[in-house]
Structure 1
Amino acid sequence: MTRLRLFVLTIFCCSLAFSSLQAQDYQKAIGLRLGYPVSISYKMFLGNSNNALEAFVNYRSQKVFSYGWTRIGVGGAYQVHNPISSVDGLQWYYGGGAAIYFWSYDNDFSGFEDEANLSLGIQGYLGLDYKFAGAPVNLSLDWVPTFYISGYGDGFGADNGALTIRYTFEE
Structure 2
Amino acid sequence: MKSKMFISAALACCLICTVFFATAQSAAQPYRTGAGLLIDVGEGVTLVGPHVKHFFAPNHAGEAALLFGGGVTSLQAMYQYNQPIGELNGLQWYLGIGGNIFFEEDVDATFGIVPAAGLDYKIAKAPIALSFDWRPKFLLYDGDSEFLAARFGIGLRFTF
In the alignment, which residue of structure 2 is the partner of 1:128?
119
Q: Is the 8 A contact 1:118 1:152 kept in 2?
A: no
> Which of these two proteins has the greater Rg computed from alpha carbons?
1
Rate the CA distance shift 1:74–1:153 in 2: closer, same or farther, 3 A: farther
* Residue 153 (structure 1) shift: 8.2
Letter in 2 for 1:73: S
* Residue 151 (structure 1) shift: 4.7
**1:45 paired residue among 45, 51, 55:** 55
Rate the CA distance shift 1:130–1:53 in 2: closer, same or farther, 3 A: same
Query: 1:50-61 maps to which residues of 2 (within 5 A)?
Result: 50-61=59-70
* Residue 33 (structure 1) shift: 1.1
Structure 1 distance, partners of 2:68, 2:36, is 15
TM-score, length-scaled by structure 1? 0.70
Rate the CA distance shift 1:151–1:39 in 2: closer, same or farther, 3 A: farther
TM-score, length-scaled by structure 2? 0.74
Unaligned runs of 5+ in 2: 1-28, 41-45
In the alignment, which residue of structure 2 is the partner of 1:25?
30
In the alignment, which residue of structure 2 is the partner of 1:137?
128
Letter in 2 for 1:129: D
Structure 2 distance, partners of 1:151, 1:130, is 39
Q: Deviations over 1:47-94 (max 9, x none)?
A: 3x2100000001123xxxxxxxx2111010000001101411100000
Letter in 2 for 1:92: W
Rate the CA distance shift 1:152–1:41 in 2: closer, same or farther, 3 A: farther
Letter in 2 for 1:33: L
Unaligned runs of 5+ in 1: 1-23, 62-69, 105-114
* Residue 117 (structure 1) shift: 2.0
Rate the CA distance shift 1:103–1:50 in 2: closer, same or farther, 3 A: same
Aligned pairs, number: 127
**2:110 paired residue among 95, 111, 119:** 119
Calculate the aligned-residue CA RMSD, in Å: 1.7
Q: List structure 1 runs of 4+ shifted beyond 2 angstroms.
A: 151-154
Letter in 2 for 1:27: R
Structure 1 distance, partners of 2:90, 2:68, is 31
* 2:140 aligned with 1:160: no
